[in-house]
Structure 1
Amino acid sequence: MRLRYRLLGGLLLAVGIPLLIRAMAEPKVVYSINLQVTITAAIFAHISGYLIYRRLDAFPGVATFGTLLPAFTLSYGLVFLVIFFFRLDYSRFQAAGSFLISTLWYFSLAASLNRLEPGRLAVVPVGSVHRLAAVRGVAWHRLQRPGLVPGRIQGVVADLRADLPDAWVRFITGCVLSGMPVYHVKQVLESLTGRVEIEHLSENTLGSLHPNQAYSRIKQAADWLVALAVLIVASPLLLIVALLIRLDSPGPALFRQQRVGHRGAVFTLYKFRTMRDDRGGPVTAREKAITRGDDPRITRIGRVLRRTRLDELPQLFNILRGEMSWIGPRPEALMLSLWYEKELSFYPYRHIVRPGITGWAQVNQGHVAAIGDVHEKLHYDFYYIKNFSPWLDLVIVMRTIRIMLTGFGAK
């Protein structure tokens, strides 16, 4: 089904069914002002919810069923919040019915169209396409020779920077002319894995790692306002947690550490203390900065705080000071950052945006410290910077909430 028919069908059902039920019970209600206001608002909320859902569904690792309800909850909630703010009269039955039918309609479509089934892509076996085999969730069909594309194939993947033989060039040209999508292997890897690999300086000459400055300013203002509101509301919780930390183990309630932030500036990060400083023997500052999964320094209350991410709450002060954001690459300890910069090319590029309490690498990979893992984390950070937008931030928020409930990646 084409997208416009899905949207049209959803609008007709979401608006028409509740309206028909109300009209059967009370025909004159159709002409009431409150119902007309509700129908107009429902149409706007439905279209907005559909656009949000389609935009969020484009990010890798995001299941269709996991974005439907948040998308329509957000759109309907915002629209009817405006109606409530302006004290407009509206029909609760029409509003609730429209929201329910909207979500059911797209849930049914997603199930009937098997959106969660793996796609099928043909691969031109020349160049660096061998990395595709490690990507799950897609049925890869390796072409043996130029010719007809097998049935049920949704696109062709090729290394367009490789020195392709003339026969394969003619084959790819024929696919383009016939309307078959042709993708560069690196484009496919980015869209399926959520990682961007920068291996040559020339790959950033077009500004792929220069985030939208207008959104950056808007985001900073929103970060500040939300942090202030959360700090006011959560201040009793902060005091309770601080008291529990002091009772659980000797030492201050807050942990302070030098971290590298926006544009390489060093700042003091605040967290609730979750560890005791009792590692025996001589250790370097780098080893002291690394936290391992079975680290004996973690306290009893510290394990709970780390699992629920409540130990990050004092970073509200870092946000208010303009040093951090709610969402962005996690800031590394100064000693670790200096180490990574020596070992990993392009590592400083991650400092082009403000660091965050949570981020794309955090929700995909969790806490890591080894060079190999940090290299992979860097690819996630580059993907976030390249796709810097409110849509990706919203996906990260949803996945962070899930992680807070499951404790994924905590150490």
Structure 2
Amino acid sequence: MLRISNHHVSKIISVLFLVEVLILLMSVYVGMHLRLLGGLSGSAISLQKFALPAVAFTVTMLFSMSALGMYQLKYREGFRNTLLRLMPAFALGFGILTLSFYIVPELYFGRGILGLVILISGTGILLARVLIFKSSEFGLLESRILFLGTGTLAKECGELAMHNIAYHNYHIVGYVPVAKGDTCVPSSAVIANTESLTALALKHNVSEIIVSVQNRRGGNLPIKELLDCKLNGIKVTDAATFFEREACQIRVDSLQPSWLVFGTGFDQSFLRAFCKRTFDLIISLLIFTISIPAMLITALCIFLEDRGPIFYKQERVGKDGHTYMVLKFRSMRNDAEKAGKPQWAKSNDPRTTRIGGIIRKLRIDELPQIINVLKGEMSFVGPRPERPFFVEQLNDQIPFYNVRHSIKPGITGMAQVRYPYGASVEDAVQKLQYDLYYVKNNSLFLDILILIDTLQVVLLGKGAR
């Protein structure tokens, strides 16, 4: 895994992204030369004339592929699946480019050239993806890992390495027990510690040891052997860091407070605050301008359906525990909480109106919160704000829950794009683990990634409730 602005990115994704940048850039020049066939006086003139259109084409196509989830590799892709995913992404990119040509005519480089460029780049990306995916299956980017521990935590880490990582770039050598107790991993995968941990790791060509021991008290952890492994060039990682790196979660059930205190992250500097506020204002004003027609139509539909209020305000908990009134399009009946007690929203909630169901699926009901962002009560990206009634309950039941209130809440966030909609304490725990990851590793780079993933959620209708 590579680390960019505290966020971990898969090696396969990084290689794929860089290769596709080169393919998209080069396809513009190849298409131009094939179409014009020497019509320009020289390559230097060609590079100068088509530099801006080439960059615009590349950025647009990368954005379109990202928005449709082509850089979230959660299952094996063959030639057919890759082609089926690539076609709508290029269609979206073509639509954005067409609009861009009207707004900025300097970007236009002719229909004939554009057709050739799309054909060349599409073919190149399709072949590159098939080649890279096949290479990853042959283990060219594979890492050999060893788990220290055989309990529940070791089992969960092993399952994550086997099933939740794109293209299985981990080979599990086995599990080494550290103390007597229940063994939760397959007995065939347990390696008897008849020799030192260093000798064992070198023998099996292990590149990383994952310390997945729940209880480290009583001298169970072989610290000297782990240090010896590290001095021999073998990476040593604890379970909390492994989950953070591979699942973008900070697990609260196996988390030591000292890990949060002495670990990296939690950037609350003036520069980070300034960049985030600038990002919030630019994105909010841009999306507000683009979405004005959709908001006007939504407001009219809500009013015509039951002649009730268009908007509703609700108290939410924000930064440092301060409350504020969040603004949303009304998607439920006026008597949604006639019992007088706050209720969790549910999937396919019967209290939702017909229009409400549509705007929830498309996330249009969240758009008025842009006003909260402009007022400084929210950020565009951050943990979703919760109601005081539920915050009081969750603080008592979930450790570290209040950490999410150390930054401003957001319209969208890591939990919203990574976890399906849920409404229970168990779901709140899962969402908190993503929120803690964001609070610890938040950066402008991560905000942009979440914003792109949010567009994917909107376009594909994921997570509707």
TM-score bracket for the superposition, by shorter chain length? 0.7 to 0.9
- In the comparison of the two structures, how many residue pairs are matched? 396
Gaps of 5+ in 2: 1-10, 177-190
Which of 154, 169, 174 in structure 2 is aligned with 1:129? 154
Q: Distance in 1 between matches of 2:283 and 2:27?
A: 38
Q: Where do residues 254-273 of structure 1 align in structure 2 (5 Å cutoff)?
A: 254-273=311-330
1:113 aligns with 2:166: no
| C-alpha displacement of 1:304 | 0.8
Q: Is the alpha carbon distance of 1:88 and 1:111 closer, same or farther for their aligned partners in structure 2, counting shifts above 3 Å? A: closer
| C-alpha displacement of 1:85 | 7.5
Q: Distance in 1 between matches of 2:259 and 2:323?
A: 28
Q: Distance in 2 between matches of 1:151 and 1:48?
A: 43
Q: Distance in 2 between matches of 1:114 and 1:261?
A: 44
Check the 8 A contact 2:23/2:121 in 1, yes or no. no
Q: Which amino acid aligns with 2:429?
A: H
Q: 1:157 is matched with which residue?
A: 210
Check the 8 A contact 1:42/1:95 in 2, yes or no. no
| C-alpha displacement of 1:259 | 0.8
| C-alpha displacement of 1:20 | 11
Q: Distance in 1 between matches of 2:353 and 2:420?
A: 20
Q: Distance in 2 between matches of 1:155 and 1:247?
A: 61
Which of 13, 35, 38 in structure 1 is aligned with 2:46? 35
**TM-score, normalised via structure 2 length:** 0.67
Q: 1:315 is matched with which residue?
A: 369
Which of 173, 184, 188 in structure 1 is aligned with 2:228? 173
Q: Which amino acid aligns with 2:266?
A: L
Q: Deviations over 1:312-369 (max 9, x none)?
A: 1111211111112221110111222222223333222112222111110111223333
Q: Deviations over 1:164-188 (max 9, x none)?
A: 565x8447624651x4433222211
Q: Distance in 2 between matches of 1:390 and 1:98?
A: 33
Check the 8 A contact 2:53/2:108 in 1, yes or no. no
| C-alpha displacement of 1:276 | 0.9
Q: 2:184 is matched with which residue?
A: none
Q: 1:244 is matched with which residue?
A: 301
Between the two proteins, what is the percent identity of the paired residues?
Answer: 25
Q: Distance in 2 between matches of 1:392 and 1:32?
A: 38
1:399 aligns with 2:432: no
Q: Where do residues 5-404 of structure 1 align in structure 2 (5 Å cutoff)?
A: 15=26, 18=29, 22=33, 29=40, 31=42, 33-37=44-48, 103=125, 106-114=128-136, 120-125=144-149, 128-135=153-160, 136-137=163-164, 139-140=171-172, 141-143=174-176, 144=191, 145=193, 146=197, 147-149=199-201, 155-159=208-212, 162=216, 163-164=219-220, 169-170=224-225, 173-174=228-229, 176-177=231-232, 179-197=233-251, 199-206=255-262, 208-211=265-268, 213-278=270-335, 282-284=339-341, 286-287=342-343, 290-404=344-458
Q: Which amino acid aligns with 1:398?
A: I
Q: Distance in 1 between matches of 2:123 and 2:44?
A: 22
* Higher mean C-alpha displacement, 254-263 vs 107-116: 107-116
Check the 8 A contact 2:331/2:365 in 1, yes or no. yes
Q: Which amino acid aligns with 2:447?
A: D
Q: Distance in 2 between matches of 1:24 and 1:408?
A: 41
**TM-score, normalised via structure 1 length:** 0.75
Q: Distance in 1 between matches of 2:445 and 2:29?
A: 31
Check the 8 A contact 1:277/1:297 in 2, yes or no. no
Q: Distance in 2 between matches of 1:211 and 1:105?
A: 43
Q: Distance in 2 between matches of 1:247 and 1:204?
A: 51
